[in-house]
Chain A
Amino acid sequence: MENHHRAFSFARVLAITANTLTELTRQKVFYVLLIFALLLIGSSIFMARLTFQQEFQILKDVSLGAMSIFTSLLAIVATARLIPQDIDDRTVYTILAKPVPRFEYVFGKLAAVLLLLAISTLVMSAMFLVVLHTREQTVLHETLRQMGAAPREQVNDALRAVRSAALSIDIFPGITIIYLKACLLAALTLFVSTFATTNIFTIVVMVFIYFIGHLQATAREYWLQEHGVGWMARLFLVLVALIFPDLQTFDLVDDIVAGAAIPLELFAKTAVLGISYTTFYALLAAFVFYGKEL
């Protein structure tokens, strides 16, 4: 019987992905979703004191902000331990002793984290939308009851005001960008973990990258536009801009919650940038992992 080995096998990647996802699930990472649910309930209790515009604004801010924090944290923490853990457990030797190319191993691992992030984002989005929709319906009923005798035009204006304060279609591109930002962070974490010795090191480096990524655009603008700086400082800022991703680019939800509409072009550009970053860091991780002595 001929033993046919293919250079790339989707089935092998899928097997690694499925195993890694099961392993991640067993580590109770989905408890994050429970915290998210508690946060939604907690903020709803406080918001009973506010008007419906304030309530919807804070509900959206808190939910989308929490979604951004949790997916970013999950991306970093879940990915940081994947390779070091496999090396500690010696699982990696068992896998790579079989005819599994190293890039398949890396891509399988990353795909599991991206899947985990997708599930988490979907569940959090569903919880958020259910709460928002329920509150919207309650406020609509209250408005109809209170304005029963008012002219039709005024009632329609009031209902329109409630609907526009609640769910906006722009929330969905916002959530997509939150997910893509988490994917970028996961791929970057995987890349860092290919040369890191411990997962603590990876997490610390990623926290620094997270802050630098968010601060670099503001710092660059502040120094380059408002202050004349020397060539050394300029060189430093250019290097920072070249090496680190500008994470502020992915912060669209602040403006979406404030009621701004996201043009399709801006969404597409940001999404393409996020996918490019994720692909690049995944390829880089595979490249470094190929040269790693195991």
Chain B
Amino acid sequence: MMRALLVIGLVLAFGVLKLPAERSISMQRRQLHFGGVELNLDLRGQIGQLGFVAALSGFRSIVADVLFIQAHVAWERTEWGRVLLLFRQVTTLQPRAILFWEMAAWHMAWNASVAAMNNRTQPRLALRIKAQREYFALGKDFLERGIKNNPERPQLYESLARLYKDKYQDHARASEFFAKAAAIPGAPGYDKRFSAYELSYCEGRERGAYQRLRQLYDAGENERLPTLIMRLKFLENKLDIAQDQRIPDPAP
């Protein structure tokens, strides 16, 4: 009996000693956005009891993968509502996986929006356009939430920039998000260039775009790509840049 009481006492004493360490690790994990999963009753209802328990028991990423595969199958069957629902669950379970946010946004803004526009069962163009815009917004929402969860990684800023460029034709916002991606350490070299390209399409901001493109051009041969030269030539003409300050014409 004495030994049992002593064991209980030792377990509690060790518990008191280990709690600050666990708390410190837990706080550091939160700062790093680790395990930042909102496990609530809505998710419990969506993924079922077994999936919910599995997600809580250290198998969160495997449950997310299973749901991702289901979403992939739903996409092949063009069941857009189901794709949306499943990707919401996947991104809730694995908010740090860039791939899932990108895929979710791509399915909504690129695939589902095109399907909505080509929907033969809806004869009214206005309603088809409305549905298309709603899918754009869903894609944008996925990317914005993805950025909130992964502010230190450039990929989702790039994806959001592409969405503004391709779907909203909003070159100013596209340029802004490419620039944000470029500012992140480890971002690909093309982000800076793409930001300047997009700015060159913005009415009234040609001077700034010209300076940025020219800076890139002067940086060296590696930056002198065909699109950069083409946009620079376009701006030189539009801004009426003096002949002696213009870049040479590319060799035919």
Contacts and interface: CB of A to CB of B under 8 A. Distances in A.
A210 interface: yes
Contacts of B65: 57-58, 61-62
A54 B98 CA distance: 11
A33 to B, nearest CB: 19
A266 B94 contact: no
B59 A65 contact: yes
Contact of A214 (B19, B25, B34, B56): B56
A242 B16 contact: yes
A249 B58 contact: no
B241 interface: no
A58 B68 contact: yes
Contacts of A210: 57
A261 to B, nearest CB: 9
Nearest to B189: A153
Interface stretch (B7-15, B127-135, B165-173, B206-214): B7-15
Interface centre among A58, A217, A253, A287 (most CB of B within 10 A): A58
B22 A249 contact: yes
A270 B25 contact: yes
A2 interface: no
B94 A254 contact: yes
Interface string A253-294: 111011110010110011011001100100010011001000
A58 B69 CA distance: 9
Contact of B25 (A49, A58, A266): A266
B15 A248 contact: no
A248 B22 CA distance: 10
B24 interface: yes
B215 interface: no
B61 A273 contact: no
B3 A260 contact: no
Contacts of A257: 61, 97
Contacts, number: 128
A232 interface: no
Size range of the chain A interface in the assembly:
35 or more
Nearest to A151: B225
A243 B190 CA distance: 53
Given A243-B15, A273-B25, A284-B10, A260 B58 contact: no
Contacts of B189: 153, 157
A151 B61 CA distance: 37
Contacts of A284: 7, 10-11
A254 B60 contact: yes
A218 interface: yes
Interface centre among A217, A248, A259, A291 (most CB of B within 10 A): A248
Closest 9 CB pairs of A and B: A242-B15, A258-B96, A258-B97, A65-B62, A61-B61, A254-B61, A291-B3, A214-B57, A255-B34
Given A249-B22, A273-B22, A284-B7, 19 more contacts: A61-B62, A65-B62, A154-B190, A157-B190, A211-B57, A214-B56, A214-B57, A214-B58, A217-B26, A218-B39, A242-B12, A249-B25, A250-B58, A254-B35, A258-B96, A266-B29, A284-B11, A287-B6, A287-B7
Interface of B: 3, 6-7, 10-12, 14-16, 18-19, 21-22, 24-26, 28-29, 32-35, 39, 53, 56-62, 64-65, 68-69, 72, 94, 96-99, 103, 153, 188-190, 222, 225
9 contacts: A46-B69, A49-B72, A54-B99, A57-B97, A215-B56, A241-B19, A242-B11, A263-B28, A276-B18
Interface of A: 46, 49-50, 53-54, 57-58, 61-62, 64-65, 68-69, 151, 153-154, 157, 160, 210-211, 214-215, 217-218, 241-243, 245-255, 257-260, 263, 265-266, 269-270, 272-273, 276-277, 280, 284, 287-288, 291
